[in-house]
Amino acid sequence: MWEQLIEDVPRFFGFWNLMFLGQALLNTLLLSYLGAAFGFALGFCLAIGRHPRLYGIAPLRLLATAYVEVFRRIPFLVKLMCVFFAFQLSGAQASLFTVALVTVVLSAAAFAAEIARAGIESVPAPQWNAAEAMNFSRWQMLSRIIAPQSWRVVVPPLFGYAVGFIKSTSIASQIGVMELTYAAKILNTRGFSALLCFGTILVVYFLICWPTKRFGEHLETRLGQRPQA
Amino acid sequence: MGYDLIYSQVTGHVPYLLGGALLTLQLATISFLVGWAIGLFNASILHFGPHPARLAVQGYVTFFINTPLLVQIFFIFFVLPDAGILLSPYTAVAIGMSLNAGAYLTEIQRAGFQSLRREEMDAATAMGFSVPQMVWYVVMPHIAKTLYPPLSNQFIIQVMTTSIAAIFAVEELTGRAYNVNSLTFRSMEVFSIVAVIYVVLTLACSLALAVLGRWLFRVKARIV
């Protein structure tokens, strides 16, 4: 095992393999960060649409709640398959990358909606009452009162969830999206030892996830120290 | 190009799918229990152990939390055979999920250990308790109640995570969905039914755990 490994190493880290892995890494990064960004934006909209004092009109509220509760209870793989086949049925010519991106966005939205709700609820009731007494419109209330106070609570946990989505994108290899895990499988099939292929991407995943998580923790302590407005 | 959803071709396979749900629950329970034991052991080390052991545990937790479970199982499933250890898909998935859950459950239980009061530990030490005795008789009863909600939450996560086993041809809920899919070619129908089963399954688990929690500790566990 070890002799073969030592023989493989220079070949494995050759120029073309590194280019191949680099492209896969780029896809993983794009898929997870882009998906998380869109998903979180959508999640905030959902949270705003769920809150009775913001835009929570009854049918909208019900829909948003059902969405959040259902999508948090379906495994990523099953969601991926549903989105994949739904795209197929609709006849839209979507790339595999788009399918995976949509799945990440849909699940990120459901999780972000819960965090954003916690953030919105962290604003004390007198603030809401005061804003209403001053005859603020819903939009003014959100942008002037709620958002400036709740972002400190909302932003740090998002990084933890972003790490979760970086890890989930490895499942996108199942439908053949060219990301890190799929690249490792291909290299493994080409005859490089499994230890080398999967060991390398484990390290790469770690090098992406760990700084993201640490940055979130750093933000949490930093934003927590500041006096609350 | 029209496609009509025909559920009637799939409904006959629902009992087969539900059988897979049993395996899902089994896998989730095994990995949760093993992970819980690993977590308790690790949390004890983090609280009582010597410095190098603490570092090792922290390394384990950081590594397993920051890498994808799928790749961890790939590693176990494809690399260990090179070292002469052949594992069945089910065993490989169970080991991978247990190690992964162990990392998360270490984090959860570490928080519980930190919530203990110093005096209780001092009293236990004065009574001549050994560390395992202290963990079992003093720490556990104290943190059981506070840790119940996050632990049951982790169980629900385990139930959903088992879907990864399908990738290794374990015939749990998602694995059986793949089988039914290749039998009937009614992909959208199969996976939408499976999605609903997962929602119902996790809701049922949450409900059962909440009832159990009420009965054990009189705590209000969150259902949704």
In a domain, B203, yes or no: yes
When divided into structural domains, chain B yields a total of 1
- pLDDT(A104) > 90: yes
CA distances from A97 to A30, A81, B148 (A): 10, 13, 39
Angle at the Cα of A81 (from A79 to A87), degrees rounded to 5? Answer: 100
How far is residue B183 CA from its own chain's centroid? 30
ipTM above 0.90, yes or no: no
Q: What is the CATH number of the domain that holds B137?
A: 1.10.3720.10
Angle at the Cα of B40 (from B35 to B42), degrees rounded to 5? Answer: 90
Q: Which residues span the domain enclosing B100? A: 8-217
The mean per-residue pLDDT over the stretch A116-123 comes to: 87
Inter-chain touch A77–B3, beta carbons under 8 Å: no
CA distance A87 to A91: 6
- pLDDT(A228) > 60: no
Q: Give the model's pLDDT for residue B146.
A: 84
When mean pLDDT is compared across A46-55, A138-147, A199-208, the lowest value belongs to: A46-55
* CB A188 within 8 Å of CB B78: yes
For B133, residues 6+ apart whose C-beta sits below 8 A from its C-beta are B124
Task: Find residues 187-226 of chain A whose CB sits inside 8 Å of chain B.
Answer: 188, 193-195, 198-199, 201-202, 205-206, 209-210, 213
* CB A73 within 8 Å of CB B202: yes
Domains of chain A: 2-225 (1.10.3720.10)
Q: Give the model's pLDDT for residue A26.
A: 93
User: Confidence class of residue A121 from pLDDT cuts 50, 70 and 90?
Assistant: confident
CA distance B27 to B97: 9
In a domain, B2, yes or no: no
Identity (one letter) of the amino acid at A155?
A: V
Task: Find residues 24-83 of chain B whose CB sits inside 8 Å of chain A.
Answer: 62-63, 65-72, 74-75, 78-79, 82-83
Q: Give the model's pLDDT for residue A157.
A: 87
**B117–chain A nearest CA distance, Å:** 24
Name the residue with higher pLDDT: A227 or A69. Answer: A69
CA distance B31 to B92: 11
Structure tokens at A60: 């909208």
The mean per-residue pLDDT over the stretch A53-69 comes to: 83
Identity (one letter) of the amino acid at B132?
A: P
Q: Give the model's pLDDT for residue B94.
A: 93
Q: Give the model's pLDDT for residue A226.
A: 59
Contacts of B74 in chain A (CB under 8 A): 181, 184-185, 194, 198
Identity (one letter) of the amino acid at A161?
A: Y
Cβ neighbourhood burial of B109 (10 Å; 0-12, 13-18, 19+): buried
Q: How many CB atoms within 10 Å of residue A10?
A: 8
* CB A115 within 8 Å of CB A161: yes
Inter-chain touch B71–A205, beta carbons under 8 Å: yes
CA distance A19 to B195: 38
Q: Give the model's pLDDT for residue B40.
A: 92
Length of chain A, please?
229
Task: Find residues 39-78 of chain A whose CB sits inside 8 Å of chain B.
Answer: 69-70, 73-78
Number of H helices, E strands in chain B: 10, 0
CA distance B211 to B6: 38
In a domain, B3, yes or no: no
In a domain, B169, yes or no: yes
Contacts of A76 in chain B (CB under 8 A): 163
**pLDDT tens track for A28-57:** 999 999 999 999 999 988 888 887 777 767
Sequence-separated contacts (24+) of A130-135 with Cβ below 8 Å? A132/A53
Angle at the Cα of B35 (from B96 to B63), degrees rounded to 5? Answer: 60
Identity (one letter) of the amino acid at A138?
A: R
Residue ranges in chain B modelled with pLDDT below 50: none
* CB B101 within 8 Å of CB B158: yes
In a domain, B222, yes or no: no
CA distance B22 to A89: 31
Helices (H), chain A: 2-12, 15-29, 35-50, 58-71, 76-90, 96-121, 125-133, 138-140, 147-168, 180-189, 194-225
